[in-house]
Structure 1
Amino acid sequence: MATPLDWSLLQGFLVLAESGSLSQAAPLLGLSQPSLSRQLARLESLTGQLLFERHPRGMSLTAAGRALLPAARRMREGAQDLALALAAREQQLAGTVRLTASEVVSAYFLPELLLRLRLAHPEIQIELVASNEVENLLERSADIALRMVRPTQGMLVARKLADWPLGVFAHRRYLQRRGMPTRETMAAHEWLGYDRSDQLLRGFAAAGFAVEPSFFALRCDQQTVLWEALRAGLGLGVGLVALAARDPELVQVLPELPIPPLPLWLTAHRELRDTPRLRLVFDTIAEAWSAP
């Protein structure tokens, strides 16, 4: 009789297969690299097969690993369906809601809203995933998501809350040091931008200014860090008008630049909208930030 496989071992196998390295897979599973390595060794011992080839750049599936992958994915789908079915039957407010939003929204906009929710419903705990990555609601990476793009999966409930205007801002100290930028002089100014993300490069190109990464004097993919750098006077940066309005030392510059607003979408899995605590959190966010 075949030895039944522990789902946690197969879950580790899947994450490792899809990420390609122990260093990337272990944090996603909440494990250390040695623990994940031991899990893999256990799975290979149970199957009697070498499932991964180790190489300097990471790990790749062997033929045996590729053969196991479809069945493991089907098991994951079954586990997700079971989790959704159980979650949708929960009728109590008490419990946890996993919410994901961008770093800027999580740091500067959500705390006040979550405080009001906490005072009104202390029985609800919030797990906040502050990430600019698009969390997969279908895989239960999060229960509710605030996104700047419209989701396309049919199993999701999506509601557009508002269009948040963007602008170019500088601290008064920077303007005292470098002067007010114009369309003619903007290329000579110090700009703050992203490192690996090409979002701002595409935005500048759409506005008629093709720039290279070297155009930005400071590059960082953490948006909260860039915003604090802007507030420190390091250079010009693009940000939310509503956020800049909180700091009287920030000045909007180059208002003539065509910068499209960011659409704010609130999404949840369709089945989970019928869970009272998820519905309450969903409706609280929607009521707070829906456009009038």
Structure 2
Amino acid sequence: MLDWSQVQIFLGLAEAGSLSRAVALLSQSQPTLSRQLTALESSLGQSLFERHPRGLTLTAAGQALLPAARRMREGAQELSLALAARETSLAGTVRMTASEIVCCYFLPEFLARMRLDHPEIQLEIVASDEVENLLDRSADIALRMVRPEQGMLVARKLADWPLGMYAHRRYLARHGVPTVATLAQHHWLGFDRADQLLRGFAAAGFAVEREFFCLRSDSHVAMWEAMRAGCGIAVGLQSLAARDLNLQQVLPEIPIPPLPLWLTAHRELRDTPRLRLVFDALADWVGANP
């Protein structure tokens, strides 16, 4: 009989496609995963993966095992949710996820307030611009910039955060204030692989390529801080820019849709007292700090 830990290793390797990519997914070292995979295959008496220079591919035996392993994971998730929903104590952990910008510049004040008011609740923060899956308990609560589609999630829209284009006054002193006519002559900061800015510029009537952005990173915090250092112009939250008197909004005539902010949690966990308290406190805090 396979135990759950072996099934998790098998699923992690199958979905990552290589030992190196599974390291972060399973939080184990590559040598450890290699040993566990060998032990798993020995216990089953058959190979589950073909090894090749590019990674791992499932054998016929591995392909046959995969659907059942995924059903086992779904059952474990349902069991975890059912147990968590029956918790009545406030003491314990709540795992929250939000974008890097929100975690670095907006959440700390809320976290400090929670530590003062409810020291019995431990908080885990996942700062990521990736959309964490609440259904597999990657997090209990999420602040997202998109509305969740899964029916098992509850969602509350908290705000529409206005955006603008900003530059540091040092940059503007060197290069001048941009206009629509001189837009292409300026230094723009943007994303590396993400295409949100490309689509945003196109929607505003400016079809630009990735190379339009002279400095690129998918870290929103890195781009914001580069802008504050005078590297160029970046798109960001108006409420965040208002904190720095050295920043100046430019090109306000170019329309930028506001960024929606959604608070989400799993429907079953929403009625857990500890989670409900944090969920409602976070909603109230955002409402009081638009």
Q: Which residue in 2 is equivalent to 1:97?
A: 94
Out of 240, 244, 258, the residue aligned to residue 243 of structure 1 is: 240
Residue ranges of structure 1 left out of the alignment (5+ in a row): none
Out of 18, 26, 30, the residue aligned to residue 29 of structure 1 is: 26
Out of 241, 246, 251, the residue aligned to residue 254 of structure 1 is: 251
- Write out aligned runs for 1:65-144 (5 A): 65-144=62-141
Q: Return the alpha-carbon distance in structure 2 between the equivalents of residues 94 and 216 of structure 1.
A: 47
Out of 144, 147, 150, the residue aligned to residue 147 of structure 2 is: 150
Partner SS for 1:287: helix
Query: Match of 1:123, as an amino acid?
Result: E
Q: Which residue in 1 is equivalent to 2:274?
A: 277
User: Is 1:7 aligned to residue 4 of structure 2?
Assistant: yes
Q: Return the alpha-carbon distance in structure 2 between the equivalents of residues 31 and 54 of structure 1.
A: 19
User: Is 1:48 aligned to residue 45 of structure 2?
Assistant: yes
Q: Which residue in 1 is equivalent to 2:265?
A: 268
**Which digits, 9 at most, give the CA deviation of each residue in 1:154-181, with x for residues without a partner?**
1101000000011000000000010000
User: By how many angstroms is 1:59 displaced?
Assistant: 1.5
TM-score by length of 1: 0.97
Partner SS for 2:239: helix
TM-score by length of 2: 0.98
Q: Return the alpha-carbon distance in structure 2 between the equivalents of residues 14 and 106 of structure 1.
A: 30
User: Is 1:216 aligned to residue 205 of structure 2?
Assistant: no
CA RMSD of aligned residues (A): 1.1
Query: Match of 2:106, as an amino acid?
Result: F
User: By how many angstroms is 1:19 displaced?
Assistant: 1.6
Query: Match of 2:218, as an amino acid?
Result: D
Query: Match of 1:102, as an amino acid?
Result: S
Query: Match of 2:256, as an amino acid?
Result: I
Partner SS for 1:85: helix
Partner SS for 1:290: helix
Q: Return the alpha-carbon distance in structure 1 between the equivalents of residues 160 and 57 of structure 2.
A: 43
**Which digits, 9 at most, give the CA deviation of each residue in 1:58-117, with x for residues without a partner?**
222111111000010011011101100110011000000000000000000000001001
Count residues in correspondence: 289
User: By how many angstroms is 1:56 displaced?
Assistant: 2.4
Query: Match of 2:53, as an amino acid?
Result: P
Q: Return the alpha-carbon distance in structure 2 between the equivalents of residues 15 and 49 of structure 1.
A: 18
Q: Return the alpha-carbon distance in structure 1 between the equivalents of residues 75 and 209 of structure 2.
A: 46
Query: Match of 2:55, as an amino acid?
Result: G
**Which digits, 9 at most, give the CA deviation of each residue in 1:95-153, with x for residues without a partner?**
00000000000000000001001100000011100001111011101000000000011
Q: Return the alpha-carbon distance in structure 1 between the equivalents of residues 73 and 242 of structure 2.
A: 45
- Structure 1 window deviating more from structure 2 (29-38 vs 149-158): it is 29-38
User: Is 1:19 aligned to residue 25 of structure 2?
Assistant: no
**Which digits, 9 at most, give the CA deviation of each residue in 1:212-236, with x for residues without a partner?**
1111110011111111101000000
Q: Return the alpha-carbon distance in structure 1 between the equivalents of residues 200 and 9 of structure 2.
A: 38
